[in-house]
Structure 1
Amino acid sequence: MLPLAYIAELWRYPVKSMRGEQVDALEVQPDGIAHDRRYAFLSSGAPAGKPRLTGRERAALLRYSASVSANGTEIRTPEGRRFQVHDPALLTYFEQHLPHGNRITLEHDPAAGPYTDVRPIAIVSTETLAILNRTFGRAVDPRRFRSNLLITFTSEANRELTGGNPDLFPEDAVAGHTLQLGATCRLRLLEKIPRCRVVTLDPDTVEPDPALMKHLDRRYGGRLGIYAAVVTSGPVQTGDAVAMASTEV
């Protein structure tokens, strides 16, 4: 199989709405990526039917980071304090420091799978980000899009997929196909990802940039990147080849 692309970066987000961690390797499981969005927090002030924090609380959580080690999942606060995710003191800290002062509870159910909004895996290409930077007129931090896989297409594949059109996102052209990553992992590429106001928030300061969402809406129908579902699980690592699967599923 000739490579279409290579994996440039891998990311996981152990806690929903918090900063992720860049890693060299990931284990793709049948329901998604290991340690990706396996924890979430609920707020007593969230709207009925949408308990996972209010809009202001979600934005504030972007200043917290989550990482996984042999000791479990650790949370680092904006001030540099560290808590294990199951530590009751973390909930007390949230209630004192997150907006509104609502009661915060931890959600964790290993049988429920990842707490993703729609699909288990999000992919974007470096070519797509370069197009966005050019059309938007300034560089956009890739972290805004909270993707799991950042891939780089080969120049030949990019030309073939886009027909040489410099404004087309190459990953859009492989929607509906199954790709193989590394030796065993296979992902079915699904629909383009609809973006929400989270992409307007600076990953470091959470300051909003509404112009970015307006640009995405006007130019790209509010969509960037592509969702994927797991066909075959397996390990993937940075530098792995990405190819069209020999047998479509």
Structure 2
Amino acid sequence: MTSIGTVSELWRYPVKSMLGERSETLRMAERGVDGDRLFAVRDTEGKLGSGKNTRRFRKIEGLFRLQASYHHQVPHIRLPSGEVVAGDSPDIHQMLSEVLGLPVVLAREEVISHLDAGPVHLITSASLAWLSSALPTAHIDARRFRPNLVIDVPGADLVEQTWLGKRLRVGKEVELEVYAATERCGMVAFQQSELPQEPEVLRHIAQQVDLRFGVYAQVVVPGIVHLHDTVTLKG
């Protein structure tokens, strides 16, 4: 096995398409990261709130104004006003409907998966450096791409694309198989927190790499990933 880098950031998103929470550890199983996108905003037609429109998803403006984090396995959502409401509060559905401007409920995953296309999403510092070098005035930040893992590796290129079909060992327990490039959508350009709207980010990725930025992986060996874990590439 070849050491290729270290885990520099860990993220999970309790509610799909809302801002998430940084973590020191993440537990991974077959579904992916424990608790990741386990909840979603659902409209009256049963579609899940997202940054895009598909058969399963509905683009709902304003989701990035909300931030979700877990407290004893219950998602707590910070509203634009600064108020925090628990996901099991009897008022949660009405409050979210008022903020988002349409009738919705906060729903736990059942039959329809809340995940876009893969259990675990990862990007590298090298990909972020590649994008920063091409767009020096843009605010390039891992948060734009909503990864579960950010892996710190040397260089400034799309190195994770070379891992397709290969396996990674993360720390002492977890083994991932990288199987698909991540196809980006308009969410990477959205304003979130202090990051401004940056349409040139999506434009550049579309023009230069056909919207492929980051990769999806499936969990082959479950376990716990820690911040600063060593990442090795299996032959």
| Distance in 1 separating the partners of 2:161 and 2:68 | 30
- 1:18 deviates by 0.5
Residue 49 of structure 1, CA deviation? 7.3
Residue type of the alignment partner of 1:73: P
For structure 1, list consecutive stretches of 5 or more residues without a partner in the other structure.
159-165
Task: Tell me what 2:115 maps to.
Answer: 116
Larger fraction in helix: 1
TM-score normalised by structure 2 residue count: 0.89
Residue 197 of structure 1, aligned match among 168, 180, 186: 186
CA-CA distance at 1:129 after TM superposition = 0.2
1:76 aligns with 2:99: no
Deviation at 1:245, TM superposition (A): 3.2
Q: Percent identity?
A: 27
Question: Residue by residue, what CA displacement relative to the aligned partner does 1:12-71 show, whole Å, maximum 9, x if unpaired?
Answer: 00100100100111101121100110001111278797464x42x2x3011111111226
**Partners of 1:78 and 1:49 in 2: how far apart?**
27
Paired position in structure 2 for 1:20:
20
Distance of aligned partners of 1:108 and 1:195 in 2 relative to their CA distance in 1, 3 Å threshold: same
Aligned residues: 229
Alpha-carbon spacing, 1:31–1:51, altered in 2? closer, same or farther (3 Å): closer
- The 3-state SS of whatever aligns with 2:128 is helix
Cα distance in 2, alignment partners of residues 9 and 114 from structure 1: 25
Match of 2:134 in 1: 135
Query: Which residue, 52, 65, 68 being the options, matches 2:67?
Result: 65
1 or 2, which has the higher strand percentage? 2
2:223 to 234, 242, 247: 234
In structure 2, the CA distance between the partners of 1:206 and 1:44, relative to structure 1 (3 Å rule), is: farther
Q: 1:194-221 deviations in whole A, cap 9, x for unaligned?
A: 1001111021278643222111111111
- Unaligned ranges ≥5, structure 2: 48-52
| Greater Rg by CA | 1
Moved more, 206-215 or 66-75: 206-215
CA RMSD in angstroms, aligned pairs only: 2.3
Shift of 1:137: 2.5
